[in-house]
Amino acid sequence: MVVRSLLSSVHGAMAVAFSYGHGLGTPLAGSDDVLYRVHSLHDGTLVRLRHLGPDDADELRAGFAQLSPESRYRRFFSPIPRLPEPLLRRLVGTDGHHHVALVAESLPYDDEPPAPLGVARFIRIVGRPSAAEVAVTVIDEMHGRGLGRLLLEAIVVLAREHDVAIIVASVLADNAPMNALIRRLGRVAALRNEQGVLHYEVALGR
């Protein structure tokens, strides 16, 4: 059963639908399901998703600071201690079509601002308009709660709505949770291993 209500936040009142145990129940049907509902993770933690944009540099820095060295390496394939400004500008430089990103946040309570918990994005591949590279990052505190799966499912929903048919992803071979999530997306059309990094091309079903 879905219960609809209004949630007040710094972004105004938003209609939400509580779907407990997301990922075990009804799949996300479209962008409205992604952006205009409160999502319940496996342990009951409630989060919301919204678009990430150029004004979110500070939030992205705050989320990066909560990544362990291992998590940073798994995301960037390099043990970077901080986000270089040129990279930060690229990560927040979304345009709503070629580069789309979502940030997962805790729900705001009283005067406390929402906290960044994870990010997912797709970036269309130059010369291949129906293909896009995806990436997902979740802060260490939220590992094992289903947030990575939620973010990946959500960004794929948006990618489909932008006519993306092929998802490209690069994942460390020893990153078992993310490899399992990528393989759930659809038919693996191509896979190669380059020095311990698995490069996927996954065909999205309709």
Q: Helix-strand-coil percent breakdown of the chain, rounded to 5?
A: 30, 35, 35
- Read out DSSP for 189-201? EEEEEETTEEEEE
The tens digit of pLDDT for each residue in 88-108 reads: 999 999 999 999 999 999 988
> For a pLDDT cut of 70, what percent of the chain falls above it?
87
Question: Where do runs of H (alpha helix) occur along the chain?
Answer: 31-35, 57-65, 69-76, 85-92, 147-161, 176-184
**What pLDDT sits at residue 26?**
61
**What pLDDT sits at residue 129?**
93
Q: What is the mean predicted confidence (pLDDT) over 145-167?
A: 96
Sequence spans of domains, the chain: 3-204
pLDDT band at 113 (very low <50, low <70, confident <90, very high): confident
The tens digit of pLDDT for each residue in 134-144 reads: 999 999 999 99
**What pLDDT sits at residue 8?**
38
The tens digit of pLDDT for each residue in 2-36 reads: 333 334 333 444 444 444 434 434 678 899 999 99
Tokens of 147: 């947030």
**What pLDDT sits at residue 15?**
41
User: Is 43 a residue whose pLDDT tops 70?
Assistant: yes
Residue 34 to residue 12: CA distance in whole angstroms = 17
Residue 201 to residue 193: CA distance in whole angstroms = 12
Question: Where do runs of H (alpha helix) occur along 110-161?
Answer: 147-161
Contact indicator for 137, 118 with CB cutoff of 8 Å: yes
Look up the pTM and report it. 0.86
Q: Strand pairing partners for 188?
A: 202
Question: What is the fold, at CATH topology level, of the domain defined by 3-204?
Answer: Aminopeptidase (3.40.630)
Residue 41 to residue 87: CA distance in whole angstroms = 30
**What pLDDT sits at residue 27?**
79
